[in-house]
Amino acid sequence: NAGVMQNPRHLVRRRGQEARLRCSPMKGHSHVYWYRQLPEEGLKFMVYLQKENIIDESGMPKERFSAEFPKEGPSILRIQQVVRGDSAAYFCASSRSVGQELGYEQYFGPGTRLTVT
Amino acid sequence: GESVGLHLPTLSVQEGDNSIINCAYSNSASDYFIWYKQESGKGPQFIIDIRSNMDKRQGQRVTVLLNKTVKHLSLQIAATQPGDSAVYFCAETYTGGFKTIFGAGTRLFVKA
């Protein structure tokens, strides 16, 4: 059973370009979470999605950032007009459910390291 | 606001010794806590979890202790090995919530 897949693993963009980060959850998981991590810091929640729905985007910057999880295909985190401050590692996680009976265990992907030059 | 913090940013232990990593959380409504291990260049890996109706839970070589009175969480690693060297994060969430709040992390160094 493959784990959470993310691609690309490394992405270099010039200021002003767009970055598209992909995440394929574990098989059977319909909940996807995106986190951002700066060097030597913890993970910061960005957005939580279920299939075709954004459930909680309270951690997402209001401008330039968007996320989707279509019915078919991976979840996409899109950053438009990137700036140097967007350079970070972006992690995706998936879970089967948020119900207490199944716990909240999230399985993380290997991350995408975005560098904005 | 978000506030899950750790008392010690770095911890250095001798191989074979026990390690204790501490964490403070601020949300009294949090009822589920998780410890993650993150090795360099990798995503966080689940270690152990605990619900608020428990004060102790044991896994293989790891034990998590929860003190709700002082909102404190700790991870104990028995007989620490070089492979345990990593950054450890505590995280909290609550029933019906979707947001997992991560602490800043503690870097564990294991000296051979």
Residue numbers of A between 95 and 114 with CB closer than 8 Å to B: 98, 100, 103-111
Test A43 with B44 for CB contact under 8 angstroms: yes
Chain A CB contacts of B41 under 8 Å are 110
- For residue B94, pLDDT beyond 50: yes
Residue B3 touches partner A, C-beta closer than 8 Å: no
State the Cα torsion A36-B62-B4-A87 to the nearest 10°.
-20
Which of B52, B64, B100, B106 to probe by mutation at the A interface, max A CB count within 10 Å?
B100
pLDDT at B52: 92
The Cβ-side half-sphere exposure at A57, using a 13 Å CA radius, reads 14
Q: What is the pLDDT of residues A24-66, one digit of tens each?
A: 999 988 899 999 998 878 899 999 999 889 988 999 999 999 9
- The 8-class DSSP code of residue A44 comes to E
Question: In this structure, which amino acid lies at residue A40?
Answer: E
Chain B CB contacts of A109 under 8 Å are 43
Chain B CB contacts of A106 under 8 Å are 46, 100
Burial of B70 (0-12, 13-18, 19+ CB in 10 A): exposed
pLDDT at B91: 92
Chain A CB contacts of B36 under 8 Å are 108
- The 8-class DSSP code of residue B29 comes to T
pLDDT at A91: 97
d(Cα B49, Cα B37) in Å, to the nearest integer?
12
- The 8-class DSSP code of residue B99 comes to P
Q: What is the pLDDT of residues A84-108, one digit of tens each?
A: 999 999 999 998 865 555 556 789 9
d(Cα B104, Cα B112) in Å, to the nearest integer?
26
Question: In this structure, which amino acid lies at residue A115?
Answer: T
d(Cα A23, Cα A13) in Å, to the nearest integer?
19
Closest CA to A103 of B28, B48, B101, B43: B48
